[in-house]
Structure 1
Amino acid sequence: MAKKFPEQPAHPERNCWGCDRYCRADSMLCGNGSERTQHPIELFGLEWAKACGADVGDGAPADPAPAAG
């Protein structure tokens, strides 16, 4: 089972986010290349999950459909 992907980690720069291992940036074990994969919060900012349509958090939809009527 995959680990839950953290939406807003405290220090995303300390880990590689390229696989489920979340290795330290200075000791990557998976062979995911020579550079770490950045967390989406580093690339897109605090609202990355909403902007990217990611399924993280409590599972509730970010923008529920309006009621018909």
Structure 2
Amino acid sequence: LTRMLQDDPLLEGVAGIIFDEFHERSLEADLGLALALDVQNEVREDLKLLVMSATLDVEALLD
């Protein structure tokens, strides 16, 4: 995802991004979500983001 964003910052042709098993946190997943949220908030309000996890600690994610 980060490479895609470098090549195409607007993610043209992408309708949505799914982050699965997000409770298995990693730098790449956190960075990908942060960048995707920036794109969604700044230029692509239509971009759908879905964060999935069976055991996600929502409070930790919001921090």
TM-score by length of 2: 0.23
Select the structure of larger CA radius of gyration: 1
Return the structure number with greater helix share: 2
TM-score (norm. length: structure 1): 0.22
Structure having greater relative contact order (Cα 8 Å, sep ≥ 6): 2
